[in-house]
Amino acid sequence: MTLRRTTLHATHEAAGARMVDFAGWSMPVHYGSQIDEHHAVRRQAGMFDVSHMTVVDVDGPGARDYLRHLLANDVDKLKIAGRALYSCMLNPEGGVLDDLITYRRADGYRVVVNAATRDKDLAWMRDVAARLSGTIAPVEVRERDDLDMIAVQGPAARDLCLPLLPESLRAPAEALTPFTATEDGDWFVARTGYTGEDGFEVILPATATLSFWQALAAAGVRPIGLGARDTLRLEAGMNLYGTDMDEQISPLESGLGWTVAWTPADRDFIGRQALERQQADGVHRRLVGLVLEGRGVLRGHMSVSAGEAGQGETTSGSFSPTLGVSIALARIPADAGERVTVDIRGKQVPAKVVKPPFVRHGKALIDL
């Protein structure tokens, strides 16, 4: 199968990127050193080509009712245009189909979903729209594959990025508070991200992508590969779909209970009944952070022993460049204590249970 390419593919190759297959896309995993790239984002500014992610516009008079049924979080929390909401999209069994961000726009909504789940998500979203047809006002679900997406992240990211935005967006983008967005034409700027640092995610027309990327590079923003994106998000305690949760796992067992809007009680969202049953039966597992105390590196799918509380498993793990130790997310019994051991190639290595995030805005949030 031919891998899909983003607008910047040749630019990444020319910059010496090692390209890998990521969910059917040829994407840069690093441009030389993943650790240097990680530090660049924590200390200065880096940019990520995330054009493989899927932008979906949800419009029409039925858009609000549709999204209130489709998503576990409630888009009615978005009181005004420009606000953003993180949510899970569930199946009827309460399993996570995907996690996504919804932005309210002047007229309608914009949803950004993962690349790996693109086809499944679009099919599901269209299927749900078709099922609701007749019971709610018309809704239009439209993939925007004419748009690219670049994330600019790090303590200096906003200052370096602002002067490079279209003139009309500079003042509104500068005024953005976290988790809000502004737009003009096909340019859309959100103060969101996946690194635990300040910055923007910029959705823009594919025709403008190359010159924007080059201008950022000229301003000193380093290109960052998917490798550092993963260690940055892990330090930030952010789940990766397909790794830390999937269709078999509910948000309540994924550290995402806070994203489920239970009130108003009469909002009938997909998966609600299953989650209510699970809540009533008791949630037996929770997603926690682990800090390795012995030597080695935590990876996904390592067995975790929590003494009498039972067994669990790491879902993702790595070396943390910022902390200099190995960290992981792990799904363990809900009543596990603070001390666990992890099976690393047959050895039981001690680890401490912590509450993510591990790092936010360049600072360690846990005691080592």
Cα 287 vs. chain centroid, distance in angstroms? 16
Of the candidate residues 10, 16, 21, 33, the single one contacting another protein (CB under 8 A)? 33
- 34 lies in the binding site for another protein (CB under 8 A): yes
In terms of C-beta density within 10 A (0-12 exposed, 13-18 middle, 19 or more buried), how is residue 280 classed?
A: exposed
Q: What are phi and psi of 154, to 5 degrees?
A: 135, 165
- Residues in the interface with another protein (CB under 8 A) total 17
Query: In this complex, which beta carbon is closest to another protein, that of residue 245 or of residue 325?
Result: 325
Give the CA dihedral 297, 235, 161, 23, nearest 10 degrees: 60
The span from the CA of 342 to the CA of 346, in Å, is 9
Shortest distance, position 227 Cβ to another protein, whole Å:
6
Assigned token pair, 285: 């597992």
The span from the CA of 196 to the CA of 320, in Å, is 13
- 363 lies in the binding site for another protein (CB under 8 A): no
Cα 209 vs. chain centroid, distance in angstroms? 21
- 212 lies in the binding site for another protein (CB under 8 A): no
Shortest distance, position 288 Cβ to another protein, whole Å:
22
The span from the CA of 208 to the CA of 230, in Å, is 27
- 109 lies in the binding site for another protein (CB under 8 A): no
Shortest distance, position 152 Cβ to another protein, whole Å:
22
Mark 287-326 with x for binding to another protein (rule: CB under 8 A) and - for no binding. --------xxx-x------------------xx-x----x
Query: In this complex, which beta carbon is closest to another protein, that of residue 153 or of residue 320?
Result: 320
User: Quick check: helix, strand or coil at residue 46?
Assistant: strand
Query: In this complex, which beta carbon is closest to another protein, that of residue 79 or of residue 345?
Result: 345
The span from the CA of 270 to the CA of 264, in Å, is 14
Shortest distance, position 229 Cβ to another protein, whole Å:
12
Shortest distance, position 216 Cβ to another protein, whole Å:
24
- 227 lies in the binding site for another protein (CB under 8 A): yes
* CA-closest candidate to residue 334, choices 259, 257, 272: 257
Assigned token pair, 167: 């003139």
* Stretch in the footprint of another protein (CB under 8 A) among 28-36, 113-121, 215-223, 308-316: 28-36
Shortest distance, position 163 Cβ to another protein, whole Å:
33
Query: In this complex, which beta carbon is closest to another protein, that of residue 30 or of residue 105?
Result: 30
Which amino acid does the sequence have at 9? H
Interface residues with another protein (CB under 8 A) are 29-30, 33-35, 38, 227, 231, 295-297, 299, 318-319, 321, 326, 345
